Amino acid sequence: MTTSYADSGVNIAAATSANELMAAAVRSTYGPAVLAGMGAFGGCFDAGLALTGVQSPVLVASTDGVGTKTLVAAALNRYDSVGQDLVNHCVNDILVQGATPLFFLDYIAVAKLEPQHVAALVGGVAAACRALGCALLGGETAEMPDVYAPGAFDLAGTIVGVVSRESMLPRPTVAPGDAILALPSTGLHTNGYSLARRIVAGLPQGYATTPALLGGQTVGEALLAVHRCYLPEVTALRAAVEVKALAHITGGGVFDNLPRVLPPGSGAVIEKGTWSVPPIMQLLVETASLPDAEAYHALNMGLGMLVLVPTGEVGLALATVPELRQVGRVVAGAGVQLV
């Protein structure tokens, strides 16, 4: 019996085709610091060139994925946006420590390699990187038919950024009395999709349902809203006011993520009604009758990025980024209280 790699479910020709389709998008993110990128066994980045002018540079790295949002993308045959989700999520994570992005690497795993789908995924990654001045230095595409179900795929990435040591966040000055401001989310971002998919499965038309609450948008479209990147707004704020800490509200919601940037002996009070909850989250909460303890743990509930500043600088912060909302305050104690 003659057996080939293709017979076992791995198509090398499809991988070559995918690489050809994505090449231009990837290379469009390169700057002079990229010495070797796509096609090399390892990406090479001239750190000395990239870090010119950064005093006491600290590299900050993070790895993440987009979770089961990939299942929504596959169900809707939409592969162009989740790559943007991935980059923006990772940028926000290192932004919390004060870092700006240098380069990114992606990893795509599929049951069966469809070159057009992979090219769309990488195209989204490249578009987000290009918009942020971040090089897409390399990546990997793996075809694993016995690991993933037909039609399924996974998407993950690693980012490396830099911050001067004296500019790292959170600052040690975070204390009770500081104000908590919020930058709004664009939707679920990249968390809570396992819960959301279960709720949506009970709707009359599933992802195609068009509730009045969504203003003509389908549930599927609302769920695929791109995870927002907060780099421009945070950069403007840090230039104008004393930003003491940032909290990216991802898995675990406000209950788990805000305490990560608070010092021992400090908690937070978040005042409901001081910001707008996105319609898709209102729909999910109402449909499933989710209590606050569940909703604010599984979903961001409209709180995309929290910004901690001294109370005396709230006015200037709001003037600098008008979409900010004051949503709470740091208090003595522990944990997060919703009031």
pLDDT > 90 fraction of the chain, expressed in percent and rounded: 73
Q: What is the pLDDT of residue 28?
A: 75
- Amino acid 332 reads A
- What is the rounded distance in angstroms from the CA atom of residue 62 to the CA atom of residue 248? 13
1 falls within a domain: no
Domain match, 90 and 224 both:
no
Which token pair is 97?
A: 């420590």
Q: What is the pLDDT of residue 20?
A: 63
Domain match, 191 and 129 both:
no
Say which range, 107-116, 232-241, 289-298, has the weakest mean pLDDT.
107-116
Q: What is the pLDDT of residue 8?
A: 46
173 falls within a domain: no
Domain match, 210 and 144 both:
no
Q: pLDDT band at 140, cuts 50/70/90?
A: confident
Q: What is the pLDDT of residue 169?
A: 96
Q: Which of 167, 195, 211 is the last residue of a domain?
A: 167
Cβ contacts of residue 110 below 8 Å, gap of 6+? 117, 118, 141, 142, 143, 144, 148, 152, 153, 154
- What is the rounded distance in angstroms from the CA atom of residue 328 to the CA atom of residue 339? 9
Domain match, 145 and 259 both:
no
Q: What is the pLDDT of residue 22?
A: 62
Domain match, 151 and 248 both:
no
Domain match, 158 and 204 both:
no
Q: Are 302 and 233 in contact (CB under 8 A)?
A: no
- Edge to edge, what strands does the sheet with 100-110 contain? 57-65, 153-164, 100-110, 135-143
172 falls within a domain: no
Q: pLDDT band at 152, cuts 50/70/90?
A: confident
Domain match, 254 and 313 both:
yes
Residue 234, sorted as left (phi over 0), alpha (psi -120 to 50) or beta, turns out to be alpha
Domain match, 142 and 255 both:
no
Q: Are 82 and 155 in contact (CB under 8 A)?
A: yes
- For residue range 250-304, what is the model confidence (pLDDT) as tens digits? 999 999 999 999 999 999 999 999 999 999 999 999 999 999 999 999 999 999 9
Residue 15, pLDDT above cutoff 60: no
Domain match, 108 and 16 both:
yes
Q: What is the pLDDT of residue 186?
A: 95
How many domains, in total, are found in the chain? 2
Q: Which of 140, 167, 194 is the last residue of a domain?
A: 167
Nearest residue to 55 via CA among 165, 169, 160, 170: 165
184 falls within a domain: yes
Residue by residue, DSSP assigns 13-55 as: HHHHHHHHHHHHHHHTT--TTEEE-TTSSS-EE-HHHHTTT-S
User: 């399924």: which residue's tokens?
Assistant: 152
**CATH number assigned to the domain comprising residue 135:** 3.30.1330.10
Residue 323, pLDDT above cutoff 80: yes
- For residue range 114-132, what is the model confidence (pLDDT) as tens digits? 888 888 998 999 999 999 9
Cα Rg of the chain (Å, integer): 21
**CATH number assigned to the domain comprising residue 248:** 3.90.650.10
Residue 91: domain span:
6-167
Domain match, 34 and 125 both:
yes
Domain match, 213 and 291 both:
yes
Nearest residue to 252 via CA among 295, 291, 308: 295
Cβ contacts of residue 74 below 8 Å, gap of 6+? 151, 152, 153
pLDDT > 70 fraction of the chain, expressed in percent and rounded: 91
- For residue range 54-97, what is the model confidence (pLDDT) as tens digits? 888 899 999 999 999 999 999 999 998 999 999 999 999 999 99
Q: Which of 102, 137, 167 is the last residue of a domain?
A: 167
Domain match, 68 and 148 both:
yes
